Amino acid sequence: MAAAAPAIPNEKLAARLAATRRLTLALAEPLSDADACLQPFPDASPAKWHLAHTTWFLETFVLRDHVAGYRLFDERWPFLFNSYYEGEGARLDRARRGMISRPSLDEVRGWRTHVDEALERALPGLGEAALTLVEIGIQHEQQHQELFLTDLLAAFAVNPLEPAYGDLGTAAAAAEPLTWLPGSDGVVEIGADESGFAFDCERPRTRVLLGPHRIAHRPVTNGEWLQFIADAGYRTASLWLSDGWDWVRREGVEAPLYWRIADESAFTLAGRRPLNRAAPVTHISFYEAEAFARWTGARLPTEAEWESFADRTDPAGGHQLDRAGAVLPRPGGELFGDVWNWTGSAFLAHPGFRPAEGTVGEYNGKFMSGQMVLKGASCATPRGHSRVSYRNFFPPAARWQFTGVRLARDN
């Protein structure tokens, strides 16, 4: 999953681990046991499953494998909470995670406490290999914190009462006119270097040749997407890739996920709210992003174009997740935060890629088929989790994440 990172003082790692684990519990605090069991569709997971799976990961790969004498909290639970690690044996079918009524939410919280206390005792004596796995466990849980929110949004959206998870403040309603900024031209380097943490799929660093191009200074807005809809964008076959057009017709897609065109509103983690025309459009698929780009006469940036453009940008900037609560993209032009940016690049290996050793090596490499790369971060990404080299990836029809689009064009 990741190459070994430089040694980190145990006390700093322990503090980050504790903070990450606390945030996950805080995200779940408003939920009932029934809320936490909801699975709206097979690709999404119940909130309780996220709390349990991240605990299974640390118990399995750190405590079980690196702490002498540690005994599993419950030997039956790995079958329930393993995700897709073939090396860990049989597991519950993904589509049936919503059927796990037992253990209860409180029992899962108790398991988390047990594992956290065991990790706190073990950390001072762990070797470098185990500490690297703790770091991976932190990064892994941060990914699931974002999934926790997006999966919960999908679950609440199914309820005709459209319940709210939390409150949201108001945001400015004026969008800046779109401008185009020059991208890097010539040979550039992308990918993570050997300093600091990175997932294995971000390495090795590689050179790419880029032609002259420009990138929009901000993401596409809700207001601009309304214009696309009004101009029959979802009904014009020539704008769509063949697979995308088949998807639009098969699924009856007429607008971004959670939108209601009749009153220009969208369902959010704070319930149904009027569309903010200045805010970045979100919950769109790669197919939609590509069709919109074609409608404007532009295109999607490649992964290398986006990464080289963001090379001097602070990944911890922008509107990202700092604490538990409802989230929604806000108007602005930050490269990191608000919405993930679809690129026109497939999720494939950098030349020289080698998956991490052991079962954790199943984390990224085996998914390098049928996925598209997204860059940046969203309003639900824990601040500090993303990097310029970070490679998020989803299938082209996926849109329940906070996914948006920033356009590019050739000079």
142 and 274 in a single domain? The answer is no
154 and 271 in a single domain? The answer is no
What are the tens digits of pLDDT across the range 240-250?
999 999 999 99
**Rounded to whole angstroms, how far apart are CA atoms 103 and 145?**
20
Q: Tokens 């069991």 label which residue?
A: 37
290 and 358 in a single domain? The answer is yes
What are the tens digits of pLDDT across the range 277-334?
999 999 999 999 999 999 999 999 999 999 999 998 999 999 999 999 999 999 988 9
103 and 188 in a single domain? The answer is no
User: Does residue 4 lie within any of the structural domains?
Assistant: no
133 and 262 in a single domain? The answer is no
142 and 206 in a single domain? The answer is no
Structure tokens given for 136? 């991976």
Domain boundary among 158, 189, 205: 158
State the total domains in the chain.
Answer: 2
Residue 4 has a CB neighbour count (10 Å cut-off) of 14
Residue % of the chain over a pLDDT of 70:
97
**Lowest-confidence pick of 29-43, 95-109, 159-173:** 159-173
Question: What was the pLDDT predicted at 5?
Answer: 45
222 and 115 in a single domain? The answer is no
Question: What was the pLDDT predicted at 3?
Answer: 46
User: Does residue 228 lie within any of the structural domains?
Assistant: yes
User: Does residue 171 lie within any of the structural domains?
Assistant: no
Q: Are 283 and 402 in contact (CB under 8 A)?
A: yes
286 and 403 in a single domain? The answer is yes
Question: What was the pLDDT predicted at 56?
Answer: 98
pTM: 0.95
Domain of 344, CATH number, reads 3.90.1580.10
Domain boundary among 158, 188, 215: 158
Domain of 84, CATH number, reads 1.20.120
Question: What was the pLDDT predicted at 173?
Answer: 66
**Rounded to whole angstroms, how far apart are CA atoms 127 and 363?**
22
Question: What was the pLDDT predicted at 160?
Answer: 97
Give the strand pairing for 403-404 and 340-346.
parallel
95 and 230 in a single domain? The answer is no
What are the tens digits of pLDDT across the range 107-160?
999 999 999 999 999 999 999 999 999 999 999 999 999 999 999 999 999 999
User: Does residue 324 lie within any of the structural domains?
Assistant: yes
Reduce the secondary structure of the chain to three states and give it as a string.
CECCCCCCCHHHHHHHHHHHHHHHHHHHCCCCHHHHCCCCCCCCCCHHHHHHHHHHHHHHHHHHHHCCCCCCCCCCHHHHHCCCCHHHCCCCCHHHHHHCCCCCHHHHHHHHHHHHHHHHHHHHHCCHHHHHHHHHHHHHHHHHHHHHHHHHHHHHHHCCCCCCCCCCCCCCCCCCCCCEEECCCEEEEECCCCCCCCEHHHCCCEEEEECCEEEECCCCEHHHHHHHHHCCHHHCHHHCCHHHHHHHHHHCCCCCCCEEHHHCEEEEECEEEECCCCCECCCCCHHHHHHHHHHHCCECCCHHHHHHHCCCCCCCCCCCECCCCCCCCCCCCCCCCCCEEEEEEECCCCCCCCCCCCHHHHCCHHHCCCCEEEECCCCCCECCCCCCCCCEEECCCCCCCCEECCCEEEC
User: In terms of C-beta distances under 8 Å and separation of at least 24 residues, what long-range contacts does 255-261 make, across chains too?
Assistant: 255/229, 256/225, 256/281, 256/282, 256/283, 256/284, 256/288, 256/399, 257/283, 257/284, 257/399, 257/400, 258/153, 258/157, 258/283, 259/283, 261/229
334 and 299 in a single domain? The answer is yes
Question: What was the pLDDT predicted at 2?
Answer: 45
User: Does residue 22 lie within any of the structural domains?
Assistant: yes
Report the chain's mean pLDDT, rounded to a whole number: 95
285 and 141 in a single domain? The answer is no
Can you state the angle between helices 286-296 and 222-230, rounded to 10 degrees?
A: 80
User: Does residue 19 lie within any of the structural domains?
Assistant: yes
234 and 360 in a single domain? The answer is yes
Domain boundary among 158, 191, 220: 158
User: Does residue 166 lie within any of the structural domains?
Assistant: no
Domain residue limits at 121? 10-158
What are the tens digits of pLDDT across the range 65-112?
999 999 999 999 999 999 999 999 999 999 999 999 999 999 999 999
User: Does residue 175 lie within any of the structural domains?
Assistant: no
What are the tens digits of pLDDT across the range 339-376?
999 999 999 999 999 988 888 877 788 999 999 999 99
Question: What was the pLDDT predicted at 172?
Answer: 67
